[in-house]
Structure 1
C-alpha cells in the first residue's frame, strides 16, 4: 500500500512537475492478478484497482497501515468495472458486473474477491473506499439504473452525461459518493466552469482514452492553478481546496468519487471564469 500525505496549498504552489505528480497522480492502478491500493490522509481516502486475469484477486487489508484485520472492518467501498465482464463475491454472494456496472459494499463485509469471466478480456475493477460508521446493504447498480444528468453543449466542447451511482438519492452509504461522466464525441472539457468544495475531497479516474491521448487536468487554488498530464486509466487526488477540471486531446470517460463531511452533490463553491489565474 502506498501512502500519500496531505499538502497545504501554500506549499503546493511551489511544487515542480515531478513533485505534483508524486503527490497527486496515481499512474498505475491495474496490475495483472494484483490488488493496488493508495491511501491518502486527505479524508482517509483509499483508491485502487484489481485486474484478475489468471486467478481471482482478494480485497485484503494492509494490517500495518490500516490497523484492521480485514479491509472493510471500518470502511465502505464503491467498485466500478471499466473492463470486461466480471464477478465480485462478497461474503459468499456473487455479483455479476458488466462493463460500467457499480457495486457498493458496506462496513463489516469480511471476504471480497474479484474475478473475470474471460481472461482474454478481463474485468478491471476500480474502487474508492472511505471510513464508515454504519453498515449499509451491499447494492449493485447497472449504468441504466444510475441517475443521469445531461450537461454542457458542443458549442462549449463539454456536452456530457453524469451518471450518479452512490449518492443520497441512489445507493446509500455513510460518506462515499461515486459516479461516472461520459463525454460526447467532439467534447473535451469536464467540470468547467470549475468549483471547489471545502467539505469533501475528490478523486478522478480518466479512461476510455487512446494510447496517445492525454488529459490536461487542472488543479490548485483558483488563483494559483497548476496542471497534470494524465493518461489512460490514471487517477488524480483533489483536496478540498483545489479545483478539479480537465481538457483532453479526445473525448474520454471519467469516474469521480468523493468523501468528506457531506454527500450533497450540489454543495460546491463555483469559481467564475474571470477569477481563474
Structure 2
C-alpha cells in the first residue's frame, strides 16, 4: 500500500471535534473507535447503522478514557464523574448514555472504544490512582515510560475489551520497541498530549515488510493482528491502547528481535 492508502485504511483523524460525538466502525475485529467532546448540551450515544440494533450496547461493551477536563458520563440514569486520566467501563445492555462537560470553555474529551461482547460485566469507574501502574524502560534507550492498565483481567473485568494508556517521560521517545505482534487480537493506538508541532512515527506492517504513518495528536491508528505496532516521537507523548480478540492476557505477545524487523 502507498502512504495514502495506509492512511485511508488504518488512520482515524476525525476525532475530538468540539461539540460532537463521532464514531468509526472497522471490520478489524469489529472495533468501534470514537470520541465525545461536549461543549453545550449533553451529547447522547445513539445507534449506528452498521450495528442494526435497538441501542448501541445491545451486544457490545464500551471503554471510555477522559483525556480532557472534568466531565460527567451518565449511564442509565447513574452519573459517573470523570477527571483527566479516569477510565469508565460500560456494560453490555446499557441503554442510555450521555456526555457532559463541567465547563464548556474547557470541555471534557472522552475517548471511546467498543468491541462485541457475549457476557455482562458491571459498569465500573476507575480513577487514575486505581490503575495498575507498571514502570518500564531506561534513559539510555530513550523509552522510560509508565503503563496504566484499567480494563484487564486483574482490574476492571470485561468480556474481551482491554484498555489503558502509556505515558512517556520527558526525553523518551520510543514505545513498544523491540516490537511484537499478537495474532490473537487486534489493537488500536490513539496518541495524545503532544505539542502542536510534534509528531509520532508509528510503525506497522508485517515484521519483514514494515511501513510507517506520521501521526499528530489525538489521531488513532488501527493495528490488525498481523501487524507490529510501535512508535517514535519527536517529543514526549501519551497513547491510549485498546485490544480485543481471542484472549485478554496482556503479556500474550509474539516478541520480535531487532534482527527480525525489516
Q: TM-score, structure 2 length as denominator?
A: 0.99
* Cα distance in 2 for residues equivalent to 1:266 and 1:155: 24
Paired residues for 1:111-130 under 5 Å: 111-130=96-115
Paired residues for 1:221-232 under 5 Å: 221-232=206-217
Structure 1 residue 57: deviation in Å?
A: 0.7
Match of residue 92 from structure 1? 77
* Cα distance in 2 for residues equivalent to 1:224 and 1:26: 22
Equivalenced residue count is 262
Unaligned stretches of 5+ in structure 1?
Answer: 1-14
Q: Secondary structure at the match of 1:243?
A: coil
Unaligned stretches of 5+ in structure 2?
Answer: none
Structure 1 residue 135: deviation in Å?
A: 1.2
Paired residues for 1:34-53 under 5 Å: 34-53=20-39
Match of residue 12 from structure 1? none
Match of residue 17 from structure 1? 3
* Cα distance in 1 for residues equivalent to 2:15 and 2:184: 26
Match of residue 135 from structure 1? 120
Paired residues for 1:46-61 under 5 Å: 46-61=32-47
Establish whether residue 234 from structure 1 lines up as the match of residue 224 from structure 2.
no
User: What do the CA deviations read for 1:24-79 (whole angstroms, capped 9, x no partner)?
Assistant: 000111122221111111111000000100111111111x3111111101000000
Q: Secondary structure at the match of 2:34?
A: strand
Please say if residues 218 and 243 of structure 1, whose CA atoms lie closer than 8 Å, have aligned partners that are also in contact.
yes
Match of residue 246 from structure 2? 261
Moved over 6 A (4+): none
Q: Secondary structure at the match of 1:255?
A: strand
Q: Secondary structure at the match of 2:50?
A: helix
* Cα distance in 1 for residues equivalent to 2:46 and 2:20: 11
* Cα distance in 2 for residues equivalent to 1:239 and 1:142: 30
Q: 2:229 aligns with which of 244, 265, 269?
A: 244
Establish whether residue 30 from structure 1 lines up as the match of residue 16 from structure 2.
yes
User: What do the CA deviations read for 1:145-197 (whole angstroms, capped 9, x no partner)?
Assistant: 00011111111000000000000000000000000100000000000010000
Structure 1 residue 214: deviation in Å?
A: 0.2
Q: Secondary structure at the match of 1:235?
A: strand
